Structures are given as structure tokens and as C-alpha cells.
């Protein structure tokens, strides 16, 4: 059996493995990335919608979750990284639907919790049914309103 000598072995060439390899390529370190498929990016990465989290999902973050911390810290890194890699990046904001009073209550709680933790939280506002319709005429009038995030950090 052949033995592979390397200082760092990265198993899997998805977005994470390749990003780690790219980062390590800035240092004097011997890195090997192995991928079991015919090419990189054939795992979950190929299914991604390529959305950068900065909308409603931020409101679901919890301070005590390590994942929330990492995702939040990564958001401002995305645009410069895309520029560096020559990948188009567009800030388009987000429009969420609020179906009923129960969802409205939940949205209020999440927003209050997120704002305690993230002072520069992108503007997430409740919008009423009429405003929702002006922004998106195809949504049924049964919904009581929506949540709008501009996508711009305050
Ligand atoms: C439908 C869908 C939509 C999504 N949309 C978004 C989105 O809009 N925005 C967002 O941020 N995230 C999105 N995600 C999540 C995102 O795609 C994943 O979190 C991300 O791609 C995971 O990357 P990864 O490198 O950890 O895993 P993968 O991309 O799965 O990479 C793992 C790699 O390891 C390889 N591998 C496994 N075992 C071995 C082995 N033993 N030896 C060698 N290679 C091995 C696999 O072949 C694979 O290439 C979406 C996910 C799905 C399914």
C-alpha cells in the first residue's frame, strides 16, 4: 500500500475542504486534499442555492449556539471574498411571509432576542399586508404581513 506523506490532510473537497485548502495555501505548509468523487464540489455544495445568510435566519440565531456565532462572524467576510475570487455578489435583501398572529408573535420575540445580541443587525421590519402587496403583488391577501430585511448592515 502506498503511504502518503503530508503535513495536513484534508478529506473532502466541498466548499469547506477547498476553503481550508485555499487558506492554508497562504502558509508554508504541505497540504493534500483528497476527494472521493470525480471532482470537487459534488457533495452538498453542488445543491447550495448560494444564498448568504443575513435575513430571517439571523433572527433564529442564539447566542449560546457556536454555529450562530460562526455564521454571524462570516457574513461580512463574504463580499470581499467573492470580489477576490471574481464571483458575482449581490445584496438583494429578504422578504418573509407572516401568515398569522402566532407567527407575528414569534417574529417579534426573535427580533427582540437578536437585537440584544447583534447591535448592527440588518434592519428587519414588520410590514403590513398592504405594504407586502406593494412589494410582492403575487402573495395572497390571506397573509397578515411580512418581514423585510434590506440585507444592508446598519
Ligand atoms: C438544497 C440545498 C440548498 C442549500 N442552500 C444553501 C445556501 O443557499 N446557502 C448556504 O450557505 N448553504 C446552503 N446549503 C448548505 C450548504 O450547501 C452546505 O452546508 C455546504 O455545501 C457543506 O459543505 P461541506 O464542504 O461541509 O460538505 P460537502 O459539500 O458535502 O463536501 C464534502 C465532500 O467530502 C467528500 N467526501 C466524503 N467522504 C469522503 C472520503 N471518505 N474521502 C474523500 N472525500 C470524501 C464528498 O464527496 C464531498 O465532496 C444548502 C444545502 C442544500 C442541500
> Are the C-beta atoms of residues 139 and 132 closer than 8 Å to each other?
yes
pLDDT of 30 strictly over 70: yes
Per-residue pLDDT of 80-116, as tens digits, reads 999 999 999 998 888 889 999 999 998 888 888 777 7
Q: What is the pTM of this model?
A: 0.81
H runs (alpha helix) in 1-152: 15-24, 56-59, 66-85, 101-117, 129-135
pLDDT in tens, 64-75: 888 788 887 888
pLDDT at 131 over 80: yes
Indicate the top mutation candidate among 10, 11, 14 to test ligand 1's pocket, ranked by most ligand atoms within 8 A of CB.
14
- Our answer on whether the CB atom of 43 is closer than 6 Å to any ligand 1 atom is yes
Of the pLDDT bands very low, low, confident and very high (cuts 50, 70, 90), residue 3 is confident
Q: Is the CB–ligand 1 distance for residue 4 below 6 Å?
A: no
What number does the ligand 1 atom closest to the CA of 17 have?
A: 25
Amino acid at each position: 500500500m502506498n503511504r502518503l506523506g503530508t503535513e495536513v490532510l484534508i478529506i473532502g473537497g466541498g466548499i469547506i475542504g477547498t476553503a481550508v485548502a485555499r487558506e492554508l495555501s497562504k502558509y508554508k505548509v504541505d497540504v493534500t486534499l483528497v476527494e472521493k468523487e470525480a471532482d470537487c464540489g459534488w457533495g452538498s455544495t453542488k445543491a447550495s442555492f448560494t444564498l448568504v445568510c443575513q435575513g430571517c435566519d439571523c433572527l433564529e440565531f442564539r447566542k449560546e449556539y457556536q454555529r450562530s456565532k460562526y455564521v454571524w462572524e462570516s457574513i461580512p467576510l463574504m463580499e470581499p471574498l467573492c470580489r477576490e475570487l471574481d464571483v458575482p455578489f449581490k445584496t438583494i435583501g429578504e422578504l418573509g411571509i407572516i401568515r398569522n398572529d402566532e407567527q407575528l408573535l414569534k417574529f417579534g420575540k426573535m427580533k427582540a432576542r437578536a437585537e440584544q445580541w447583534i447591535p448592527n443587525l440588518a434592519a428587519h421590519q414588520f410590514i403590513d399586508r398592504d405594504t407586502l402587496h406593494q412589494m410582492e403583488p403575487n402573495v395572497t391577501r390571506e397573509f397578515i404581513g411580512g418581514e423585510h430585511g434590506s440585507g444592508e448592515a446598519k
